[in-house]
Structure 1
């Protein structure tokens, strides 16, 4: 399953030495980690890079902020957005907190088939006052676990993917000359220096952590993009659902659905599609809200929305209508592929 919150994380602390560490060092370090992930296809083009610089005296004050620029093949070449941001941060005086964040698309394997997630890993590099460099690696997939986050054993998926993660962690540790500090146990899993603890031994902290927490988290992310309103359909149902697949540029973004047995309707973002799934979903939800305002039933609203889709930039109806045995089954589909 692909998540919107980390399944686990690992941290390395690096002392730069007497020369200290300037902002360019943070970028170089992040790119070095990216290259290690890329060797295992855990990072693939193109990642998104963000750079920030804040005064240590007041970290609420952002002095430099560049968000979501593409990670170029040579990211620090002159005139790239990243090199300009680094130069701006490097020109600042005083004690700074400099951060570089790379969202890494990457591939996980199932039965030898590669599946892409637009945010499989995140690399975060922070420099504190130029005297401490902290590297954090987060993963947003359960492909490295013996059981998935819905409590089902997955030995084949684990065998295909866990060694790739272990190799990457080993090489990153060799780069920094120290083993990582695994992140704390969380609602999904417990990280170790080489991957994750085996949940078959002690079990997860929560049953079906993906269904319990991730579905709600995705809903909050989606609805934070539109104004609050009571003029809309229920977003949960115990009945089977009818749905259409939303696609843009060959990529499935999510699924717009309506209950077959009551007045519920909504949109399930395909988590692996990343931010685009949520951007599209917000507008599809507004279309459903418009249908509700016209007094249409949920199923009639689904047909109306399909016949009068919004702007093609946020996806078009690609397949359907199809039916799923439950909303949970559709949520499962949207969280895997």
Structure 2
């Protein structure tokens, strides 16, 4: 299953930069390139991805001196050229990287499988952070179902990549704290079949509410109580939201009450969340006009209209036994 928040993180502290103003950027860009190449070499990361560059005064972190976000990876060096690293400043370079894992030999892909972040302080200190966004390395999935075969296919490559990054940085790996989903270790993750997960059903308990909160922050305005209910115990009907051939998410409505909404497909990455906004606003408008939940879904499926960002609701309705089942689908495929 793919998550919108990290399943686990690892930290390294390479040797400080002796002259940050002259060589801090060079070191950061070099490490970024080497770590990405290491992840590619072990088959964890594929071509593509986006980069961000942020320069902040450490006394006013909320107002960056310079920032660009989600530019093509290949342009990060050019974007960073505008930055001057001085004392009391913090430079952060980060990558969102698509990647792959296998299940029973079948290759799966997520548009944000890993992120890499490098912080360089104006005084010379350096921090590298790697974050993972899937449970393919765990011996049980995020719903506590055993998957030792999946872990056996993927965990060794992750362990090899972590070891390689330690060699590149010349520093020891520091596994981050346990997350809501798993406990990172120096060579990957703890065996959840041996020591159990800290929380029951972390997918439903934490991931679903977290991504709903993230989605609603993107929706402008206040609903004034005019949105459909966001949960239901009844079966649901749904249609896929597409951009070209890519599935970004699922627009749904309950067959038994006044509930309707949108589930982002996590494997599609950040665009999955952005694509839900216009369709949630259209659902709100239909609710205010008195449409029932299924009636509103049928209206959106039938109109064949693209939103300004190019997504469209497919003209076919499907049915799921529950919203929970649809939420799980949105995290798996």
Q: TM-score range by the shorter chain?
A: over 0.9
Cα distance in structure 1, aligned partners of 2:81 and 2:18: 22
Selected match of 1:189 from 176, 182, 189: 182
| Unmatched runs of 5 consecutive residues or more in structure 2 | none
Cα distance in structure 1, aligned partners of 2:87 and 2:238: 56
Selected match of 2:222 from 213, 217, 228: 228
Could you tell which deviates more after superposition, 314-323 or 29-38? 314-323
| Unmatched runs of 5 consecutive residues or more in structure 1 | 73-79
Selected match of 1:158 from 151, 159, 165: 151
1:16 aligns with 2:16: yes
Instruction: Sort the Cα spacing of 1:11 and 1:241 in 2 relative to 1 into closer, same or farther, 3 A.
Output: same
SS at match of 1:49: strand
* Residue equivalent to 1:88: 82
Cα distance in structure 2, aligned partners of 1:319 and 1:208: 33
Cα distance in structure 2, aligned partners of 1:126 and 1:61: 17
Query: TM-score of the superposition, structure 1-length normalised?
Result: 0.93
* Residue equivalent to 1:77: none
1:303 aligns with 2:309: no
The structural deviation recorded for 1:17 is: 5.2
The structural deviation recorded for 1:143 is: 0.5
SS at match of 1:224: helix
Alignment of 1:183-332 (within 5 A): 183-226=176-219, 227-229=221-223, 230-312=225-307, 313-318=309-314, 320-332=316-328
Could you tell which deviates more after superposition, 39-48 or 157-166? 39-48
CA contact (8 A) 1:30 1:125 kept: yes
1:128 aligns with 2:121: yes
CA contact (8 A) 2:17 2:126 kept: no
* Residue equivalent to 2:99: 106
The structural deviation recorded for 1:84 is: 3.4
Cα distance in structure 2, aligned partners of 1:178 and 1:15: 8
CA contact (8 A) 2:55 2:66 kept: yes
Per-residue CA shift, 1:181-202, capped at 9, x if unaligned?
0000121100000000011122
Per-residue CA shift, 1:238-279, capped at 9, x if unaligned?
011111111112111111111111111111110110111111
SS at match of 1:159: helix
The structural deviation recorded for 1:203 is: 1.1
The structural deviation recorded for 1:43 is: 1.6
CA contact (8 A) 1:283 1:310 kept: no
Could you tell which deviates more after superposition, 52-61 or 94-103? 52-61
Selected match of 1:138 from 131, 149, 152: 131
The structural deviation recorded for 1:97 is: 0.8
SS at match of 1:59: coil
